[in-house]
C-alpha cells in the first residue's frame, strides 16, 4: 500500500490524478511520491546496508503483503483474543471466596455476559475496517491455522483507543490541547494565501495516527497530507475518511477489557460513539468536487517517503512523533530539508523515545537541552514552552499518565541542512 486519496464515500478512489497505483490498487495521491513502504511494513532490517533479508523488490513486496495480511487477520481475529482474555478474567474471579462474590455489583456471569456483548460489537466494528475495504479482499478470510502475534493483538486494541482520541467527543480535550496549539500556530504563521504558486499552503503531519490532525488542517483551508506507517492505523483512517456517511454512526467499547482503575462498576463497558464529525460531509459537501491535493494520506516510513521533497512543504506539524525516531537527528534534518525557508515547524510531544528499552533496537535518547540546538541550526524559535498533555487516556479512569510535553513553533531559516544521520529503520 502506498497511500490513498481522501474521497467521499459515493465516489471511486481517483486514479486519474495519481502517480501510480500499486498492487492493491490504492491510488497514490499526486502530491505524494511512491513511498518505500517496505521499510514501513517489514520488521526493521539489521544490516546497515539495508539489504539483509531482501533479494529483490519482488521479495520486498511479498513481505509487505504478508505483513498487511497479518494486520488484517489481527483485526478480523479480535474476538478470539478478547474471548481468551474474558476466560482468564473469569478464572481469576472464580478464585475469589464464594462468600465475597456477592459483593460484586453485578454477578460474575452477568458481568461476563455484558463484556461478551461489548466484545461482539467491537469485533463487528474491527471486522468492518477490513471487510469494507475491497483492496483488502485477499485477506478477508483468516486461514484456519493462522496465529495472531501478540504485538498485533495489542495494536488492534490501540486502534480502538486511538478512535477515542481522534474521533470521539471524549477525546475533545486531548485534541484541544495538543492539535489545538499546532493548528493555532499554523494559522498564525502560515497565511492561507501565502502558499507556493498562490495555491493553498501545503501542510504535512508525519505519524498522524488516525488522521484527525491532517483532517483539521484541511478543514481550515490548507492542503494537508497525513503520513503514517502503521497498517493498523491506516486501515482505521481509510474507514473513517472514506466510508463514514454520518456522524455518530458507530459505537465501540474501547475499555471493555480493562478492569483496572475503574471508579464505577460499569466503567469498562461504557460505550463511545464515533465519529464525532463526518469527514466526507465536512470536506466534500454536496456540489463540492473533491481535490486529492487538498487532503490525502500517504503510507510509508516518514524519512523514506519525504527525504527528497526538498523545500516542498510550507509547514510540518508533529504531535507525539519526534520521539518515534531511533535517531532524532535524521528526523530533524529531514524536516529541515522539506520545509521551505520561512515555513513552519510546530511540534508538541514528550521525549519518551519509542524504541527505548526494546531489546536489539537502536535508540538514541537525547534530552530537550541536547535536541534543541540541532533544531535551532535550521529554525528560529518563535514560541517554546512545556505543556501538560494526556494520551489516549480513559477520561473516567483512576489512572493517567500526564506528559510534560515540549511545544514549539519555529520558522525555517535559510541554513542548508548538513551532515549525515544513520537511517532510522535500517
Binding site for ligand SAM (CB under 6 A): 165, 206-209, 227-230, 233, 301-302, 319-321, 324, 424
Nearer to ligand SAM (CB atom), residue 85 or residue 301: 301
Q: How far is the CB of 310 from ligand SAM (least distance, A)?
A: 18
Nearer to ligand SAM (CB atom), residue 6 or residue 320: 320
Instruction: Determine the Cα angle at 118 with ends 112 and 121, to 5°.
Output: 145
Q: How far is the CB of 321 from ligand SAM (least distance, A)?
A: 5
Nearer to ligand SAM (CB atom), residue 115 or residue 327: 327
**Closest CA relative to residue 259, chosen from 125, 395, 111, 113:** 111
Nearer to ligand SAM (CB atom), residue 137 or residue 402: 402
Nearer to ligand SAM (CB atom), residue 85 or residue 347: 347
Nearer to ligand SAM (CB atom), residue 227 or residue 244: 227
Q: How far is the CB of 233 from ligand SAM (least distance, A)?
A: 5
Instruction: Assess contact for 267 and 255: CB atoms under 8 A.
Output: yes
Q: How far is the CB of 350 from ligand SAM (least distance, A)?
A: 9
Q: How far is the CB of 330 from ligand SAM (least distance, A)?
A: 9
C-alpha cell of residue 211: 488522521
Q: How far is the CB of 39 from ligand SAM (least distance, A)?
A: 8
Nearer to ligand SAM (CB atom), residue 81 or residue 166: 166
Q: How far is the CB of 11 from ligand SAM (least distance, A)?
A: 27
**Closest CA relative to residue 162, chosen from 153, 171, 154:** 171
Q: How far is the CB of 349 from ligand SAM (least distance, A)?
A: 8
Contacting residues for 130 by C-beta, under 8 A, at least 6 apart: 72, 75, 76, 136, 139, 140, 235
Answer left, alpha or beta for residue 85, where phi above 0 means left and psi between -120 and 50 means alpha: alpha
Q: Which residue is at the shortest CB distance from ligand SAM?
A: 207
Nearer to ligand SAM (CB atom), residue 289 or residue 388: 388
DSSP element (H, E) containing 377: helix 368-378
DSSP element (H, E) containing 131: helix 108-131
Q: DSSP class of residue 27?
A: B
Q: CA 105, CA 271: separation in Å to the nearest integer?
A: 19
**Closest CA relative to residue 6, chosen from 23, 32, 29:** 29
Nearer to ligand SAM (CB atom), residue 77 or residue 230: 230
CB atoms within 10 A of CB 114: 16
What is each CA distance from 288 to 7, 16, 276, 277, 291, in whole angstroms?
A: 11, 18, 22, 18, 9
Q: CA 3, CA 66: separation in Å to the nearest integer?
A: 18
Q: How far is the CB of 241 from ligand SAM (least distance, A)?
A: 15
Answer left, alpha or beta for residue 129, where phi above 0 means left and psi between -120 and 50 means alpha: alpha
Q: How far is the CB of 335 from ligand SAM (least distance, A)?
A: 12
Nearer to ligand SAM (CB atom), residue 18 or residue 392: 392
Contacting residues for 346 by C-beta, under 8 A, at least 6 apart: 181, 182, 185, 186, 189, 315, 316, 317, 318, 407, 408, 409, 410
DSSP element (H, E) containing 67: helix 57-76
Amino acid at each position: 500500500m502506498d497511500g490513498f486519496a481522501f474521497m467521499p464515500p459515493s465516489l471511486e478512489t481517483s486514479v486519474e490524478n495519481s502517480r501510480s497505483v500499486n498492487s492493491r490498487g490504492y491510488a497514490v495521491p499526486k502530491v505524494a511520491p511512491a513511498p518505500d513502504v517496505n521499510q514501513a511494513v517489514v520488521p526493521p532490517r539489521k544490516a546497515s546496508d539495508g539489504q539483509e533479508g531482501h533479494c529483490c523488490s519482488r521479495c520486498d513486496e511479498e513481505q509487505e503483503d504478508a505483513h498487511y495480511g497479518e494486520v488484517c487477520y489481527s483485526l478480523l481475529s479480535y474476538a478470539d483474543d478478547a474471548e481468551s482474555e474474558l476466560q482468564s478474567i473469569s478464572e481469576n474471579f472464580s478464585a475469589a471466596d464464594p462468600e465475597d462474590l456477592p459483593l460484586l455489583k453485578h454477578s460474575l456471569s452477568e458481568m461476563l455476559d455484558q463484556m461478551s456483548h461489548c466484545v461482539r460489537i467491537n469485533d463487528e466494528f474491527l471486522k468492518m475496517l477490513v471487510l469494507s475495504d475491497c483492496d483488502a479482499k485477499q485477506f478477508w478470510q483468516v486461514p484456519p491455522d493462522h496465529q495472531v502475534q501478540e504485538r498485533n493483538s495489542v495494536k488492534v486494541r490501540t486502534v480502538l483507543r486511538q478512535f477515542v482520541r481522534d474521533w470521539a467527543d471524549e477525546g475533545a480535550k486531548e485534541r484541544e490541547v495538543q492539535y489545538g496549539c499546532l493548528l493555532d500556530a499554523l494559522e498564525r504563521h502560515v497565511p492561507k494565501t501565502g502558499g507556493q504558486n498562490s495555491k493553498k499552503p501545503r501542510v504535512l503531519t508525519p505519524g498522524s495516527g488516525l488522521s484527525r490532525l491532517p483532517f483539521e488542517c484541511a478543514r481550515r483551508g490548507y492542503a494537508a497530507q497525513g503520513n503514517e506507517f502503521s497498517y493498523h492505523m491506516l486501515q482505521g483512517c481509510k474507514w473513517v475518511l472514506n466510508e463514514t456517511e454520518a456522524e455518530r454512526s458507530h459505537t465501540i467499547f474501547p475499555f471493555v477489557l480493562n478492569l483496572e482503575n475503574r471508579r464505577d462498576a460499569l466503567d469498562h463497558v461504557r460505550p463511545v460513539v464515533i465519529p464525532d464529525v463526518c469527514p466526507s460531509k465536512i470536506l466534500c459537501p454536496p456540489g463540492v468536487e473533491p481535490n486529492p491535493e487538498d487532503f490525502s494520506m500517504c503510507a510509508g516510513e516518514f524519512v523514506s517517503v519525504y527525504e527528497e521533497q526538498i523545500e516542498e512543504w510550507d509547514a510540518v506539524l508533529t504531535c507525539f512523533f519526534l520521539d518515534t525516531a531511533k535517531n532524532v537527528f535524521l528526523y530533524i534534518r529531514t524536516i529541515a530539508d522539506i520545509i521551505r525557508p520561512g515555513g513552519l515547524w510546530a511540534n508538541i510531544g514528550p521525549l519518551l523515545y519509542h524504541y527505548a528499552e526494546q531489546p536489539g533496537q537502536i535508540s538514541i535518547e537525547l534530552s530537550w537541552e541536547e535536541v534543541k540546538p540541532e533544531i535551532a541550526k535550521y529554525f528560529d524559535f518563535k514560541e517554546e514552552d512545556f505543556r501538560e498533555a494526556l494520551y489516549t487516556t480513559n477520561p473516567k479512569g483512576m489512572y493517567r499518565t500526564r506528559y510534560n510535553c515540549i511545544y514549539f513553533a519555529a520558522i525555517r531559516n535559510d541554513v542548508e541542512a548538513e551532515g549525515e544521520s544513520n537511517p532510522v529503520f535500517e
